């Protein structure tokens, strides 16, 4: 009986009309489109989900983009939300997952909280993935363990598609 129910569930999902990005909550902005997820995921799963809908975790490459995201989503972001930055591969060498642009050395265009990136938690767990984190009301970057689950922001830029 369970097998039949599972097969029916699979067929009903497969037969369902695919959701458009707007039905998933995608909001268009000046130079791109952004989607704040309504569910939590690890950084890797969030990245895979974004790719599955034709997006990528958001690369925050300009001050305007940072201000747009932190003002538009400020009231929607609970405490933490994944974005596309990571230093997986080489500790301390941060790059954006979508553009592969290295932003480690660009001190003029980073939005880290004071003391970040720290590289490890207080318990010694490695932190390789970038999130916006709210400290004292400000949404700024923080590195965190990639396996932690948070909401996330997907992005599609017209120049990529």
Residue 9 lies in a domain: no
Q: What is the pLDDT of residue 53?
A: 85
- CB-based contact 69:84 (threshold 8 Å): no
Q: What is the pTM of this model?
A: 0.80
Residues spanned by the domain of 97: 21-156
Residue 107 lies in a domain: yes
Residue 151 lies in a domain: yes
Q: What is the pLDDT of residue 85?
A: 96
Q: What is the pLDDT of residue 18?
A: 57
Residue 105 lies in a domain: yes
Q: What is the pLDDT of residue 17?
A: 52
Q: Evaluate the CA torsion angle 94, 123, 149, 78 in order and state its sign.
A: negative
Q: What is the pLDDT of residue 1?
A: 41
Query: How many domains does the chain contain in total?
Result: 1
Q: What is the pLDDT of residue 8?
A: 27
Residue 16 lies in a domain: no
Regions in the chain scoring below 50 on pLDDT: 1-16, 30, 160-161
- CB-based contact 106:94 (threshold 8 Å): no
Q: The CATH number of the domain where 126 resides is what? A: 3.10.100.10
């Amino acid at each position: 009986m369970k097998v039949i129910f599972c097969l029916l569930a699979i067929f009903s999902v497969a037969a369902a009309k695919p959701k458009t990005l707007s039905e998933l909550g995608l909001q268009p902005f000046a130079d791109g489109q952004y989607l704040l997820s309504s569910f939590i995921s690890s950084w890797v799963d969030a990245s895979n989900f974004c790719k599955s809908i034709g997006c990528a975790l958001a690369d925050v490459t300009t001050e305007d983009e940072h201000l747009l995201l932190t003002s538009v989503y400020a009231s929607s972001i609970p405490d933490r939300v994944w974005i596309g930055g990571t230093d997986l591969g080489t500790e301390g060498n941060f790059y954006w997952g979508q553009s592969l642009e290295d932003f480690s050395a660009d001190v003029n265009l980073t939005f880290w909280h004071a003391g970040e990136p720290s590289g490890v938690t207080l318990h010694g767990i490695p932190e390789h993935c970038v999130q916006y984190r709210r400290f004292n009301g400000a949404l700024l970057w923080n590195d965190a363990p990639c396996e932690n689950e948070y909401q996330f922001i997907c992005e599609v830029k017209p120049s990529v598609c």
